[in-house]
Structure 1
């Protein structure tokens, strides 16, 4: 991964663009400075959003079930992503 601070499964908040303030889960990397993110609702796993690393704020939370699934090479589901984001919103 190009950025040591952000890895698979990290939860990020968009800080720029029309989606500013929206939470996403990192699914992978597109280019060295571009993340692939999804929220399970408007941005699904099949069509993740490309987001510049400079335009997101990393939270100290990781969607563990999503990170483990992605690290093992399996596909994650939109439901897993929605549940991970719901847990973060409920706790913080």
Structure 2
């Protein structure tokens, strides 16, 4: 997987490389055809998202539409909300 074509905002991803290897994140935005911005609300907060290459991510089929909806409509989200969304994934993976 070399491009971000199959990654969308609100998608659940897992890091495959780097210091954050094995951590679960949410895609905050797609930067270009190779990079995305990811957050987990804990180590990577909304004010400092991590720019990550798509090829270093395992992409899950799960997309959280409520996050995309809130971002598209400029609704307020915070790090606790991100952590709450990711909670079931941190237990199951």
1:16 & 1:65 partners in 2: Cα distance? 28
For the aligned residue pairs, the C-alpha RMSD in angstroms reads 1.7
Equivalenced residues, count:
91
Comparing 10-19 with 58-67, which one deviates more in the overlay? 58-67
Query: TM-score w.r.t. structure 1 length?
Result: 0.86
Unaligned runs of 5+ in 1: none
Q: List, as ranges, runs of 4+ consecutive aligned residues in structure 1 with deviation greater than 4 Å.
A: none
Tell me if the contact between 1:24 and 1:39 (Cα under 8 Å) persists in the aligned partners.
Answer: yes
2:46 is matched with 45
When the two structures are superposed, what TM-score results if normalisation uses the length of structure 2? 0.85
Partner Cα separation in structure 1 for residue 5 and residue 32 of structure 2: 14
1:10 aligned partner: 11
- Residues in 2 aligned to 1:61 and 1:32: alpha-carbon distance in whole angstroms: 20
Distance 2:36 2:46 in 1: 13
CA contact 2:4–2:32 (8 Å) conserved in 1: no
Give distance in 1, aligned partners of 2:18 and 2:24. 13
* Aligned-pair CA distance for 1:75: 4.2
